[in-house]
A and B are shown apart, each in its own frame.
Chain A
Amino acid sequence: MLVVDRDRPVGDPDGESGLPCATRSVSAEDGPAAAAPVLRDGSGTATSRDTRPWEPLAGAALLERLRVTGRPRPTADPELANRLQWGIEQGLAADGGRLDRPGGGPVPRLVVTKDRLTGALACEAHHVSTEFGDRAPTAAMACGALVDALFRQFVTVGSLGDPFTDGLAALAVDDHQRCLVSWIETMPVAERQALRAEVERQAAGLARRWPRLEPTWLPRTQVAMRARLAGGAVELSARADLAVGRPTEHEASVAIVEVKSGVRRSAHRSDVHFYALVETLRHRVPPFVVATYYTRTGELDVDPVSEELLVAAARRTGAGVGALWDLAHGSEPRRMPGGLCGTCVALPECGPSGPFVRPPAGGRERGADR
């Protein structure tokens, strides 16, 4: 008898996600990384590999993968939402009583997004040095913005025209994308053609695979989600590419999908877990599933939402909120060696071989638990 090896971490070759295997299913829809699961016979001896080419899910199968997680949908547990909130707020109240402001004046609200959270947890110094000012546009950034717009169009209208033209037209009516649009319009011809080709390729895959969503499931795009904590001193803010399902009071009924045009990264899972947390805090009922859909490959990462997932997300968020709070109130940003160092152009004097790779002598590296 052949069984799939469920101990093998799938779709996460770096092993960075830290997610327990129990929250993940091994199946072809996990993507190319899981395309050839190790097969074992009854004795546990590896025998062969499935050599069938991996095919991304499409249509009804993709929809089924989103809807049927293999786990019962979580029921509403207001106590859980309260505990998650309390856990994050405790982190602020402890550690020197961050919320007690000298002079007792009103505390300016700290807005925490997924990007700020990830940035501060990866390296505070890098985050501070890159947070402000316009980021220089890149082809990847342009592709992401265009594909996001096309996904939105496809979900809302059900069709795409010329993808590049449609995408650019969509960005042109968004004030925030003005800089990116003019950058795309002035790209060298060859690079612009390459961008167009990639956008068209991803759009074709999207149109071929993405399922039609029944209107009564209330599909909505670019859904803003906010949850205020600590009496309004902190606001968790997220914007989901797609939410489906009518919120109910007793059982999780909403699915949240994030769309990515680039390569699969473990940080994307942390992002959608953050969305699950914000949704739970704002509605007091969790979503039943959060997923990331990769338009480049058709991969779909699906995480059924569980108490464990939410607790881990709250713990991570609490750590990030604490760091961001300290930075906002004048703390010296900590330099935290990690995967960013090799590509960090913001702090050239601080590379992986620099003095900050090693923890300071005689003490715990600040932020090591973050």
Chain B
Amino acid sequence: MTSAADTRTRALTAPAVTCVTDDDRARIREELVSALAPIVERLPRGEQMVVTLPLLRRAQSDPGSLVVPEEPFAWKPAFVRRSLGLAVVDACATGRFRAPSEAIGPVVAAAVAEWERSGWRTFHWEPWFAGLPGGARAVVEANAVTWATALWSSFDWQSFDRVPRIGGADDQWACPAGRTLRLKGRTELRVPVAAEGEPPDSPASAPEAIVSVSGGGPGAGWADELAYLALVSALRSPSRPVPARVMGLWPDAGTHRTVEIDRQTLGDAAKRVEASVAGLVDSRRSSTPAS
């Protein structure tokens, strides 16, 4: 029986239909730096700015929320579910467990045991989790299982030629402007796909399709937002192929969207970054008392 996961997996792994040349990439980078430099110059002295996908979304949908001071960081289950959920999906994708609810206990126990043994915090939350009473631990685990199940059931994992890269470090690009501005992109999966006009598994140019999971449903600017992840990936390393496509999953809404990455979509994402950074700088300036 065909599942929605089969269809989605085929769409994700289909050969690339677009291509961004190195010249295109360099031009987009130059244009972005030229546009951002005068904007970030207006930042109050000493301030830094980190642009992420959630911030990009808020800048469009709820700009007023950008000036609200952030609460001091404290661990809570919602902050653990992605990293633990990805570890759970990885454990399932590599065949160690059949499903997230089977993997959760051993995965979390292994993480805490490793921290207790070596002091090394793979996920950072291990000491916090280890100090929780049983009922609170169950909430953390339940949140992670629900998150992981949404991702796990979104794809037919046996159809992937090899296990996708699950999680990993965020892509980051520091804008070479007068003030510090960094773009960060966080993706859940990276899957190699055949390049346009190339046979599958051609090692010379193996672009990736990337997957991003979000809460809620897609907003009006979903295409630019997904392309933003490809933009950061493209800016981060000129030697790596530009992602061929980005698929966004919105499990709450039961939907996904895909954007094929070409010069136009990257350029649109860059424009969105410019507009958002300008809005953020204005917010920062208005909320900073005049000296």
Contact = CB atoms under 8 A, between A and B. Distances in A.
28 contacts: A149-B138, A153-B134, A155-B142, A156-B141, A161-B135, A169-B132, A170-B138, A170-B139, A173-B132, A173-B140, A213-B101, A215-B98, A216-B99, A218-B99, A218-B101, A218-B149, A218-B152, A219-B101, A220-B100, A220-B101, A226-B253, A232-B217, A246-B5, A247-B3, A247-B153, A248-B1, A249-B6, A282-B252
A246 B142 contact: no
Given A156-B142, A216-B99, A246-B3, A172 B136 contact: yes
A157 interface: yes
Nearest to A281: B254
B47 interface: no
Contacts of B142: 152-153, 155-156, 221-222
B111 to A, nearest CB: 16
Contact of B139 (A152, A216, A250, A279): A152
B87 to A, nearest CB: 16
B1 A215 contact: no
Interface string B133-156: 111111111110110011011000
Closest A-B pairs by Cβ, 10 of them = A166-B135, A169-B135, A282-B254, A153-B138, A215-B102, A215-B99, A169-B133, A170-B135, A156-B142, A283-B254
Interface in A208-244: 213, 215-228, 232, 235
B7 interface: yes
Contacts of A173: 76-77, 132, 136, 139-140
A174 interface: yes
A294 to B, nearest CB: 21
B21 interface: no
> Which among B5, B104, B139, B145 has the greatest number of chain A C-beta atoms within 10 A?
B139
B139 A149 contact: yes
A257 interface: no
B255 interface: yes
A221 B146 contact: yes
A156 B145 contact: yes
A248 B135 contact: no
A238 to B, nearest CB: 10
Interface of A: 149-150, 152-153, 155-157, 161, 165-170, 172-175, 213, 215-228, 232, 235, 246-251, 279, 282-284
B217 A228 contact: yes
Given A156-B138, A215-B102, A248 B2 contact: yes
Nearest to A167: B135
B253 A218 contact: no
A165 B138 CA distance: 12
A251 B255 CA distance: 18
B4 interface: yes
Contacts of B145: 156, 219-221
Nearest to A284: B254
Contact of A226 (B5, B133, B137, B252): B252
